[in-house]
């Protein structure tokens, strides 16, 4: 069952990533495995603060997207610290 779920996730991820790469919206050097591992890592951190989770996800997605130099901005503020 887990193997079938994993295969379905990777098949869907391959399709989405390929479409984004072909449209010039995602980095061409990324693999689906890298994206899945990145998002799995964020999900497994155990964040309890929604703002912190959203910020980490935003940082990750910014790293996946292709950005024109004029669209790049510095990160606003540091990550909130948890106790």
Q: How far apart are CA 57 and CA 21, in angstroms?
A: 19
pLDDT(76) > 60: no
Specify if 72 maps to a domain.
no
Structural domain boundaries enclosing 55? 2-67
Give the tens place of pLDDT for each residue, 54-67: 888 888 888 888 87
Give the tens place of pLDDT for each residue, 22-72: 999 999 999 999 999 998 888 888 888 888 888 888 888 888 888 766 555
Q: How many CB atoms lie within 10 A of CB 20?
A: 18
Specify if 83 maps to a domain.
no
DSSP bridge pairs for 65: 26
- Please tell me which residue, 78 or 45, carries the higher pLDDT value: 45
Specify if 74 maps to a domain.
no
- Please state the domain count of the chain: 1
**The pTM is what?**
0.69
Specify if 73 maps to a domain.
no
């Amino acid at each position: 069952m887990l193997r079938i779920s994993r295969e379905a996730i990777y098949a869907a991820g391959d399709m989405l990533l390929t479409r984004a790469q072909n449209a010039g919206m995602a980095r061409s050097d990324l693999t689906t495995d890298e994206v899945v591992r990145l998002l799995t890592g964020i999900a497994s951190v155990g964040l309890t603060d929604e703002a912190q989770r959203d910020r980490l996800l935003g940082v990750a997605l910014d790293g996946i997207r292709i950005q024109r130099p004029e669209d790049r901005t510095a990160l606003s503020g540091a990550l909130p610290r948890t106790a």
